[in-house]
Amino acid sequence: MNRFEGGGSREAKIEYLDGDMRIVQNGSHVVCAMTGKFIPLDELRYWSVIRQEPYADAAASLEAEKRAGALPNQKRSA
């Protein structure tokens, strides 16, 4: 989706899939779950299928994985 197609300047609702995404509600951007930064849809590259969250960059994605205890050899907190 091109950032100039529909949606105006509102937040899009996205279903995050493995290697793909489905736009549920048109919008121009999503908000990073870790940083709060606006991410234009055409720049969205990082998300969690399990948590259904978008991330602004690889560092934000890694931090989310750490917080979730989802990294290999990482003990999950009870």
Q: What is the pLDDT of residue 1?
A: 46
Residue pLDDT, tens place only, 14-67: 999 999 999 999 999 999 999 999 999 999 999 999 999 999 999 999 999 999
**Residue 6 pLDDT exceeds 90:** no
For 53, other C-beta atoms within 10 Å of its C-beta total 20
DSSP one-letter code for 5: S
CB-based contact 27:41 (threshold 8 Å): yes
Q: Do you know the residue count of the chain?
A: 78
Choose among 55, 64, 15: nearest CA to 37: 55
Burial class (CB in 10 A: 0-12, 13-18, 19+), 31: middle
